[in-house]
Amino acid sequence: MAGFAFLAVAAVLLGVGAEVFAGHAQAAAVRLGVTALAVGVVLAGAEPEELVTAIVAAAHHRPGIAAGDAIGANITMLTLVLGLAAVVRPFRLTPRAVFYAAVAAAAGAGAALALAGGGMGRLAGAALVAGYTAIAALVWWRERRPPAFGEAAELAGDEAAGERGRPRGARAVLLVLAGLALMVAGGRLAVAGAEQVTAALGLTDAVVGFTFVALATTAELFALVWAAARRGVEELALAGVLGSAIYNSTATLGVAALVRPLAVSGAAGQAWLAAALPAALAGWGLASGRLGRAAGLILIAAYAVYLGVTFA
């Protein structure tokens, strides 16, 4: 079916475009002297492909896809993505990770409240965007620290290597613009694919956004979490998921509502689920301190149940 092909190509375009767009962001964050957790929450968590897709969907009068993508992506990440990561390599839930899981739950609750009346206006959207700005500032403030001696030496080496290999000047600007163009193309293709799937299967925009589009636009985070889990960088994997959940609940939904007020019915239940998942993760972290393979399998099963309920 052409719609599914569009979604697959969109996932590639979104992932490549986001990679090009944010290619130098992590190095900049490290030079500012923040922890790896801040890099994950603020930089890896900032999903421009989600934002671009939501903006394109809202601009083309598809509010169900815009809201469904943001909420569905959060549910997908907090169940399927984290579950797969835990199955590959169980990881600890540190007190700092538990704190940011609680922040993600609060951000999700704010989004659910904004959608409770069957839609979201520009005022609520502006409040969510302001909330993301405040959260990002909080993370940056909490995680600032001077690098240790060994880290400073490593950073100096990285910077020297970067000077040799990093594109500079006009070329770097062109690459950033090219990355943005790829994300815009990917976002438009994701919406086009979702429209075809909606028409072919008789599904609502919201259902397609909660599932197919959410899977397409979380492709980059799948790759990030999978690679981080395999390499034992568990905190970065978890921070990327939590940061993305915060970003989608605030910046993605908020900016989409600023572009065009979102009239969405039937999304409140999924929005509250997206808020409850990081709260449950925080509770699990306080109780056990780690996410093992058994918990990972439970999360994967939870995603399967979610799909069944959504398509029912």
Greatest CA separation found in the chain? 60
What's the pLDDT band for 121 if we cut at 50, 70, 90?
very high
Residue 267's nearest CA partner among 208, 185, 184 is 208
Judged against a pLDDT cut of 70, whether residue 271 lies above it is answered with yes
Name, in order, each residue with C-beta under 8 angstroms of 90's C-beta and a sequence gap of 6 or more: 290, 291, 292, 293, 296
**H-state helical runs in the chain:** 2-21, 25-31, 36-38, 48-59, 63-76, 82-88, 95-115, 122-143, 149-165, 169-201, 205-208, 214-217, 219-230, 234-247, 253-259, 268-288, 293-311
pTM of the model: 0.78
C-beta atoms surrounding 136 within 10 Å: 21
Residue 111 · residue 253 · CB < 8 Å? yes
Separation in Å, CA 131 to CA 137, 147, 248, 254: 10, 29, 12, 9
| pLDDT (0 to 100) of residue 12 | 82
C-alpha angle with apex 5: 184 to 197, nearest 5 degrees? 90
**CATH 1.20.1420.30 fits domain 2-311:** yes
Mean pLDDT of 42-59: 78
Q: Which two tokens stand for residue 303?
A: 């995603």
Residue 195 · residue 3 · CB < 8 Å? yes
What's the pLDDT band for 117 if we cut at 50, 70, 90?
confident
pLDDT, greater one: 180 or 108: 108
**What are the tens digits of pLDDT across the range 23-42?**
655 555 565 576 656 666 76
| pLDDT (0 to 100) of residue 112 | 94
pLDDT, greater one: 168 or 132: 132
Q: State the average pLDDT for the chain.
A: 80
